[in-house]
Structure 1
Amino acid sequence: MPDAIVPDPPSTPVALIAPEVAEALAVGAPVVALESTLISHGLPRPDNLEVAARIEIAVRAAGAVPATIAVVDGIARIGLDHEALDVIASSDEVAKVSARDLAVVAARKGHGATTVAATAHLAALAGIKVFATGGIGGVHRDAASSWDESADLQTLGRTGITVVCAGVKSILDVGATLERLETIGVAVVGYGTDRFPGFYRPDSGHPIDWRVDTPEEVAGIMAARTALATDRSALVVANPVAEDDALPAAMHDRVLAEGLALAEKVGVRGKDVTPFLLAHFHQATAGASLVVNVDLVLANASLAGHIAVAHAAGA
């Protein structure tokens, strides 16, 4: 029988943890994962690079180490230095990468901005317990006919990480998204609220079963999940945008109704609906929706940092 052929190991790593992040993880210090899609696809240049720095500063101010995640030159980077962050913020060759796309982009030595799904996957792989983002993906409004559902949900259903977010965007089917989260075993708690946030608005119109009011309460739930082995799926901490920072309710409802009607009129369907509606919000609110987006991401990064600190203190 011929000897088995053992393939040569890759000449370069496919994943790399930044030294500061690796050192923090090695000693059990608090670390917060951050996505990079907002940087490359969600914010205009050059503001995106400044906002990315502000998000990391918010995590540090809470006492934790930020780990912005992206794929650069085919390497999944957990923690970006200034050069790598500049590539993600400035290059026109950055793909939007979900978990299923990671290997393709890595094999092609490309650049990729990680979505919630890809960021959660890589963060958990590195041993990071807390992740801050703007909003998670969900079930689309026309899912009954299009079957369109964000890959974020499946990944969160099998990844044991705590995700701090402002709910899901109101352009999605929020009720159906909450039902799906329940079905796939993702726990949801409201931070300082009994209502599920609607991203641009602090209340989507849907209640939440469980409320927490301090980072220590979240850390306690995280510890109990580990002890009870229920941490094989995500814990979503829904942190509502402050009312003073939110889009006015009347403006939000008007722009959403106009956007949905316009999408129907011009025949936008399936996966094209979300970017269409987000662009409509940006245009119809004269950029106000983008300001809300930045405000809520900064608030989530700060809260995630405090949760990571509380969790590390109790570990």
Structure 2
Amino acid sequence: MPHVSHPVSQSGRLWLSPEVADAVAAGRPVVALESTLLAHGLPAPQNRAAADELESAVRAHGAVPATVAVLDGMPRVGLSASELDRVCGGDLAKLSVRDLGPAVGLGRDGATTVAATATLAQAAGVSVFATGGLGGVHRGAAETWDVSADLAALAGTAVLVVCSGVKSILDVPATLEMLETESVPVLGYRTDAFPGFYRRDSGHPVPWRVDSPAEAAAVWRAHRVLGRGAGAVLAQPVPVADELDAGLHDRLLAEGLAMLAERGVTGKDVTPALLEHFHAGSGGASLRTNLALVHANAELAAQVAVELAAVPVP
């Protein structure tokens, strides 16, 4: 099983599963999947079932799944069944890019966020990544400076992130503005509206639209040549049948924002707290929406990865 040099920690190495290593070496399609969704975004036992479901969705469309995590201080791209059990079993730290070095150096376990997953995926030679929602600029960031590391990571990481936009708790126009500033293209998949995670339309347009995996792959190939090493966002709305009811969404959002302010929740604790509030307040409807959108994104990412493998990026 090969080791690949790991740019985050001089003492660390990046471990690829045999299947992922073989696929990368042969130029076959691979899709990275994050582990924070499993460890912190979904409750047990749904998280373990989702882990298998997402990997199966990627395989069904002709690509190799590569779930990413840090276990025993080793960054891993591609997990075994027992390793997925550990990720879904709890007690994993939430790791963004800044946390990778400490986790590796101290031999800890951790689930990787969008930013950390993209960083490790690129190091492994994987350029397509499927997730649920992208992090962004938080409301009130002018005073708090609370901006997700996902945006900075995308600015310097050549990975195509397939997602369903950003969660409605965020400042959507500020997030889109920052992506523009960082030269990160935002593509709407079969939509002219930037998705709002639980809702198909955040109320803001996307600058570019693609209508097929082949078009998305063509844009990504061109961006890899011209985009100065930045990533790109392929934003796909949640399926129509799984969209959260607008009235329920707006009520839960208002309650969630009030709850966060009352409890003083900030930084990386915001998203888990909000997801739990939506899950409890919606009677599980938000969880079904979350699972549906991340499943659809895994399928789309696999389709794009297959297109890219057919005509490799220069």
- Shorter chain as denominator, the TM-score bin is over 0.9
Task: Report the AA paired with residue 278 of structure 1.
Answer: L
The 3 A distance-change label for structure 1 pair 231 and 135 is: farther
Per the TM alignment, residue 91 of structure 1 is displaced from its structure 2 partner at its CA by 4.1
CA distance in 1, matches of 2:281, 2:43: 16
- Work out the number of aligned pairs and report it: 302
5+ long unaligned stretches in structure 1: 1-9
- Deviation per CA, 1:67-90: give whole Å up to 9, x if none: 000001111001001121111111
CA distance in 1, matches of 2:124, 2:287: 31
Of residues 196, 199, 203, the one that matches 1:198 is 196
Partner secondary structure for residue 139 of structure 2: coil
Partner secondary structure for residue 172 of structure 1: coil
Task: Report the AA paired with residue 21 of structure 1.
Answer: V
Partner secondary structure for residue 255 of structure 2: helix
Of residues 173, 176, 190, the one that matches 1:175 is 173
Per the TM alignment, residue 209 of structure 1 is displaced from its structure 2 partner at its CA by 1.4
Partner secondary structure for residue 244 of structure 1: helix
CA contact (8 A) 2:41 2:272 kept: no
Q: Give the equivalent residue in structure 1 for 2:108.
A: 110
Does 1:123 find its partner at 2:121? Answer: yes
User: Higher Cα Rg: structure 1 or 2?
Assistant: 1
Q: Give the equivalent residue in structure 1 for 2:238.
A: 241
Per the TM alignment, residue 45 of structure 1 is displaced from its structure 2 partner at its CA by 1.4
Q: Give the equivalent residue in structure 1 for 2:65.
A: 66
Does 1:222 find its partner at 2:220? Answer: yes
Partner secondary structure for residue 201 of structure 2: strand
CA distance in 2, matches of 1:84, 1:110: 14
Which piece of structure 1 moves more, 139-148 or 192-201? 139-148
Task: Report the AA paired with residue 133 of structure 2.
Answer: G
Return the TM-score normalized by structure 1. Answer: 0.92
Partner secondary structure for residue 189 of structure 1: strand
Task: Please tell me the root mean square deviation across aligned C-alpha atoms, in Å.
Answer: 1.5
Task: Report the AA paired with residue 113 of structure 1.
Answer: A
Per the TM alignment, residue 110 of structure 1 is displaced from its structure 2 partner at its CA by 1.0
Does 1:309 find its partner at 2:306? Answer: yes
Q: Give the equivalent residue in structure 2 for 1:260.
A: 257
- Deviation per CA, 1:98-136: give whole Å up to 9, x if none: 111111111111111000000000000111010000011
Q: Give the equivalent residue in structure 1 for 2:89.
A: 90
Q: Give the equivalent residue in structure 2 for 1:27.
A: 26
Per the TM alignment, residue 242 of structure 1 is displaced from its structure 2 partner at its CA by 1.3
CA distance in 2, matches of 1:100, 1:205: 32
Of residues 150, 153, 160, the one that matches 2:151 is 153
CA distance in 1, matches of 2:105, 2:192: 45
5+ long unaligned stretches in structure 2: 1-8
Does 1:142 find its partner at 2:140? Answer: yes
Of residues 297, 300, 308, the one that matches 1:300 is 297
